[in-house]
Each structure stands twice: as structure tokens, then as C-alpha cells.
């Protein structure tokens, strides 16, 4: 794997590049618009195809490069390798940021797959309502939730000191003490810490009750970030765009739909004749499937899902729909199948729970076919 910690001196922001060396697929965490050229050159020079830009939150101190990178890759050499690999690039941020213009909206527990790597999304609100951390292997990228020896401020963007206390002490401090902490910023030249070190030495939080922490945060008296009036509105739509002349034709086209609501799906599914229906794969366990399932669905548990076999079977019966109980496993399955080159896989948002709540019928006690 390739890992780089990059720095923007004007905003003291760290951007992270992670790449799978076997597939040459990469993600960028918290790219900064002023460093667009640096990041594009890094991708190009290392022959990497960017799969995701991940923002830990809507930043108040710099503008994200998410949108601009997506557009720029339409005209750079990297696009060719993206095309060769048959897959594109998605911009992602937490659903709780209420931002528009991203391709994917993340929630706690989501898994981001690229190459043979996975990143787990951990919701760590408090600095902002939509702040998340990204756990990859033995490293956690904490944005402004947990900084080295400190934490992000909580006095704007729906911040909450109580919530941040919980995010740090309950969620992040639950990670193994060896896990390395890579923050969104550092103003003193420090680059990395660990969960163990932060538990012991974080001046803002170590040894403090929630009440004492809330009091500390309320008395910081920090000035408003210089660029907040420019950065927040821009970041709420994925950051600044490239000038129109630099964009590749069609580079802003909306990606294929990756999910459907139960209502949208059931309209299509129930209208179609059983003989020419698309495949609906239920990725729950056989026991769950046996209890109740959507009539006509086929049970292939998540751990037995085989993209090649499925592709051979599906043939022209596309798209393939994936369902589970709540939408988590189906999303994971969809990501995996898409990563394996199946472009038309769509998961049913909310799963059989949402199906039942919408008053739609479920077949009971059918055997898995």
C-alpha cells in the first residue's frame, strides 16, 4: 500500500492519500482546493486511479477540492486509467453534513471499498453535526474531532461539546490503543499520535468530566475562522468548481443510481412479469430469508456472493437488485459487485424492514432456492 500525509501550510490542513498497490486504486481524505495541482500530480506520477474523495466534514477554514478533482480528472491522464479500470470516482461526505452535490452520503458503519482495501466510517459528531472519522487498517483519520493533544472547536456549524465528548471518549477511545491518530490539522508541526497517547495526554479531555470539558470548550473565546464565509457555503456543495473551459465533456454527469427506495423498487418489481424480471438477490442468512422475504427473491448470503458466478448467471437480466434486512449488507454487496466490474447493481434502501413498514407484502416460510 501507498500512504502519504500531505500538508497545506495556509490552512494547516492534512490531506491523506491511501492507495492499493496491487490495483492502483486510491482515495484522498480532505483534499484542499489550493493543493489541487499537487494532488493530481501525485496521482498521475504514481499511476493511481482515484476512486473516492472523502471529506471528514464541511470545513470552515478551507475549501474542499472534491468537486474540482472530479472535474479535473475528466481532462487529466488519470481519467484514462479510470476508464481502463471501468470504474469512476465518487465524492463522499456524511449525510449529517446536509451538503449537496456529493455522489455518496455516508453514515456510521458504512464501509468504503477500493481495490482490496476497506475504510470504516465512524460517526464522530460534535465539532460539526456531520463530522466523521475514517478507520483504515491501524490508522484512524479523525478530521477535527480529535486533534493531537486537542480537539476541534464546537461553537459553530451545529457543534456540541457534549456530543464531541461522547464521540472522543466513547467512540474513538474504544479503538485499540495502538491505532495511529492522523488528525485533520496540526498547528505545531506534529504529524501523528495514537489512541493510547491521546487517552493519556490530551490536554482538552484527559481526566476531565463531561461537565468540565463543556466548560473548557465554552470558555475558549476563539476568533471566527478567516475564511468561514467563503469556505462553508462552497463546501456545502462539494467545494469550488473548475472553470468551465477546463472540464471534460460529460464529466459532471450524475453517476448511475446505486440505490432505490422500496417504493421505487416495488413499482418496478411488481409490474414486471415473473419470467423477465431482473434478479433480486437477498444477501441475508438462510435463516433470515426463510422467515420472510420479498416474493421472487433469491437467497445468496453475503459471504457466498461471487461476482463472476453472478455475472455469468445474470447475463442480460440487468440491473441486479440486492436486498437485506436494513440496507447495510445490501450496500456492502453492491459496492463489492460494482468494484468487481458489475456496473448495474442497485441495492434496495432500508431492506425488508422498510419494505414491511411501507405495507408491502412479504412471503413467509419459503425455502431458499
* Footprint on this chain of Fe ion (rule: CB under 5 A): 59, 144
- Give, in order, the Cα–Cα distances in Å from 71 to each of 35, 240, 339: 15, 10, 21
Min dist CB 128 to Fe ion, Å, is: 7
- The nearer residue to Fe ion, 7 or 290, going by C-beta atoms, is 7
Min dist CB 353 to Fe ion, Å, is: 34
- Give, in order, the Cα–Cα distances in Å from 103 to each of 18, 67, 90, 251, 367: 20, 10, 5, 13, 37
Tell me the angle at which helices 36-45 and 77-84 cross, rounded to the nearest 10 degrees: 50
Min dist CB 130 to Fe ion, Å, is: 11
Min dist CB 88 to Fe ion, Å, is: 28
Cβ(47)–Cβ(24) below 8 Å: yes
- The nearer residue to Fe ion, 141 or 355, going by C-beta atoms, is 141
Query: Using the 8-state DSSP alphabet, how is residue 167 labeled?
Result: I
Min dist CB 173 to Fe ion, Å, is: 20
Q: How far, in Å, CA of 16 to CA of 9, rounded?
A: 14
- The nearer residue to Fe ion, 55 or 144, going by C-beta atoms, is 144
Residue of this chain nearest to Fe ion (CB atom):
144
Min dist CB 196 to Fe ion, Å, is: 24
Other C-beta atoms within 10 Å of 79: how many?
18
| DSSP3 helix / strand / coil % (the chain, rounded to 5) | 35, 25, 45
Min dist CB 172 to Fe ion, Å, is: 16
Q: How far, in Å, CA of 183 to CA of 142, rounded?
A: 5
- The nearer residue to Fe ion, 104 or 185, going by C-beta atoms, is 185
Cis peptide before 319 (omega within 30 of 0): yes
- The nearer residue to Fe ion, 124 or 330, going by C-beta atoms, is 124
- The nearer residue to Fe ion, 144 or 349, going by C-beta atoms, is 144
Cβ(135)–Cβ(108) below 8 Å: no
Dihedral sign for Cα 5, 6, 12, 13, please. negative
Min dist CB 153 to Fe ion, Å, is: 8
Which one, of 157, 174, 155, 158, lies nearest residue 166 by Cα? 174
- The nearer residue to Fe ion, 74 or 125, going by C-beta atoms, is 125
Q: How far, in Å, CA of 251 to CA of 237, rounded?
A: 16
- The nearer residue to Fe ion, 103 or 144, going by C-beta atoms, is 144
What is the layout of strands, in order, in the sheet containing 193-194?
A: 111-114, 117-123, 132-136, 139-143, 180-183, 193-194
Amino acid at each position: 500500500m501507498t500512504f502519504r500525509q500531505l500538508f497545506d501550510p495556509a490552512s494547516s490542513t492534512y490531506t491523506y492519500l491511501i492507495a492499493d498497490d496491487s490495483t492502483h486504486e486510491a482515495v484522498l481524505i480532505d483534499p484542499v482546493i489550493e493543493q489541487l495541482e499537487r494532488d493530481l500530480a501525485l496521482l498521475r506520477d504514481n499511476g493511481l486511479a482515484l476512486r473516492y474523495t472523502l471529506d471528514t466534514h464541511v470545513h470552515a477554514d478551507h475549501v474542499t477540492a472534491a468537486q474540482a478533482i472530479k472535474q479535473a480528472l475528466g481532462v487529466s491522464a488519470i481519467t484514462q486509467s479510470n476508464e481502463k479500470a471501468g470504474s469512476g470516482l465518487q465524492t463522499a461526505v456524511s449525510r449529517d453534513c446536509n451538503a449537496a452535490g456529493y455522489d455518496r452520503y455516508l453514515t456510521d458503519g458504512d464501509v468504503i471499498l477500493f481495490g482490496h482495501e476497506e475504510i470504516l466510517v465512524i460517526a464522530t459528531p460534535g465539532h460539526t453535526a456531520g463530522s466523521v472519522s475514517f478507520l483504515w487498517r491501524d490508522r484512524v483519520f479523525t478530521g477535527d474531532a480529535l486533534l493531537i493533544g486537542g480537539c476541534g472547536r464546537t461553537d459553530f456549524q451545529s457543534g456540541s461539546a457534549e456530543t464531541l465528548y461522547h464521540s472522543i471518549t466513547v467512540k474513538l477511545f474504544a479503538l485499540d490503543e495502538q491505532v495511529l491518530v492522523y488528525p485533520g490539522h496540526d498547528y505545531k508541526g506534529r504529524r501523528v499520535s495514537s489512541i493510547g497517547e491521546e487517552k493519556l495526554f490530551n490536554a482538552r479531555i484527559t481526566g476531565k468530566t463531561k461537565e468540565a470539558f463543556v466548560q473548557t470548550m465554552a470558555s475558549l473565546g476563539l476568533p471566527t475562522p478567516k475564511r468561514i464565509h467563503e469556505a462553508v457555503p462552497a463546501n456545502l456543495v462539494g467545494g469550488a468548481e473548475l472553470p468551465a473551459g477546463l472540464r471534460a465533456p460529460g464529466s459532471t454527469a450524475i453517476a448511475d443510481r446505486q440505490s432505490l427506495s422500496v417504493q421505487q423498487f416495488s413499482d418496478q418489481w411488481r409490474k414486471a412479469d415473473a419470467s423477465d424480471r431482473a434478479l433480486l438477490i437477498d444477501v441475508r442468512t438462510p435463516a433470515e430469508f426463510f422467515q420472510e422475504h420479498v416474493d421472487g427473491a433469491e437467497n445468496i448470503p453475503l459471504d457466498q456472493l461471487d461476482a463472476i458466478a453472478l455475472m455469468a448467471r445474470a447475463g442480460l437480466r440487468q440491473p441486479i437488485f440486492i436486498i437485506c434486512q436494513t440496507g447495510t449488507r445490501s450496500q456492502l454487496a453492491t459496492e463489492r459487485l460494482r468494484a468487481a466490474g458489475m456496473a448495474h447493481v442497485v441495492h434496495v434502501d432500508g431492506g425488508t424492514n422498510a419494505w414491511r413498514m411501507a405495507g408491502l407484502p412479504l412471503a413467509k416460510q419459503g425455502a431458499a432456492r
